[in-house]
């Protein structure tokens, strides 16, 4: 179990818990088709955004396998919302986790997501004591693959048409990092 001390600070960012006040920005960026193209969900409408924020505000700790930590990524200087990151606790027995991230399209190309996702790896390895953390993505999502490569994660698998997503068969790519690889890179 791990309850992070929030907010988490990095050079440029504050990673904080979601609040009800994030509803409008969440509806905005997750309502855009270019953002959700390789996500499992369709662009949010008002109802979907409200349901999502109700979930997100409660996901502030990893108390048991199956729990997800979702954090809003904001600029330390201005408080501006630039995206979100998550760490999912996949298995207690096997000490496995998964990271995920979505950038607000007005704030891509600046390395904010990589900087934030690195903190999710830190929470997983140093806070929760995970052995291995994965990142999974649609094989066409090259911007996401670059994030995982910048994080030092290893491309482990390319699964052919293993998922039927939004009306079509999609390939999935899996990246992973072991705790000893994280420590060696520190």
Ligand X SMILES: CC(C)(COP(=O)(O)OP(=O)(O)OC[C@H]1O[C@@H](n2cnc3c(N)ncnc32)[C@H](O)[C@@H]1OP(=O)(O)O)[C@@H](O)C(=O)NCCC(=O)NCCS
Residue numbers at the binding site for ligand X (CB under 6 A): 35, 38-39, 101-103, 108-114, 137, 141, 143-144, 146-147
Q: Which residues of 104-127 are buried (b: 16+ CB within 10 A; e: fewer)?
A: beebeeeebbbbbbbbbbbbbbeb
Q: How many CB atoms lie within 10 A of CB 64?
A: 9
Count of CA atoms in the C-beta half-sphere (13 A) of 66: 1
Structure tokens at 160: 């052919």
Give the nearest distance from C-beta 75 to ligand X in angstroms. 12
Residues contacting 72, CB < 8 A, separation 6+? 15, 16, 17, 18, 19, 22, 81, 84
Distance of closest approach, residue 32 Cβ to ligand X, in angstroms? 9
For residue 95, the minimal CB distance to ligand X (Å) is: 22
Residue 103 CB, nearest approach to ligand X (Å): 4
By C-beta, is 74 or 141 nearer to ligand X?
Answer: 141
**112 or 125: whose CB is closer to ligand X?**
112
Nearer to ligand X, 142 or 180 (CB): 142
Pairing state between β 132-138 and 96-103: parallel
Q: Whose Cβ is closer to ligand X: residue 2's or residue 38's?
A: 38
**Cβ distance to ligand X smaller for residue 92 or 111:** 111
Closest approach, Cβ 76 to ligand X, in A, equals 14
Q: Which single residue brings its beta carbon nearest to ligand X?
A: 111
Is 174:75 a contact under the CB 8 Å cutoff? no
């Amino acid at each position: 179990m791990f309850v992070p001390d929030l907010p988490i600070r990095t050079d440029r960012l504050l990673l904080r818990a979601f609040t009800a006040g994030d509803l409008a920005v969440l509806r905005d960026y997750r309502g855009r088709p270019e953002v959700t193209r390789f996500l499992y969900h369709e662009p949010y409408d008002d109802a979907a955004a409200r349901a999502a924020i109700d979930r997100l505000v409660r996901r502030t700790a990893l108390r048991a396998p199956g729990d997800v930590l979702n954090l809003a990524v904001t600029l330390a200087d201005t408080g501006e919302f630039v995206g979100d990151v998550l760490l999912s606790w996949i298995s207690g027995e096997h000490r496995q986790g998964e990271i995920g991230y979505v950038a607000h399209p007005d704030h891509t190309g600046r390395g904010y997501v990589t900087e934030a996702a690195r903190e999710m790896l830190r929470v997983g390895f140093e806070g929760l004591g995970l052995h291995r953390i994965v990142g999974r993505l649609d094989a066409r999502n090259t911007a996401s693959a670059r994030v995982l490569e910048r994080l030092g994660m290893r491309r482990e698998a390319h699964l052919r048409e293993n998922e039927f997503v939004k009306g079509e068969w999609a390939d999935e790519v899996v990246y992973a990092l072991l705790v000893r690889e994280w420590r060696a890179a520190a």
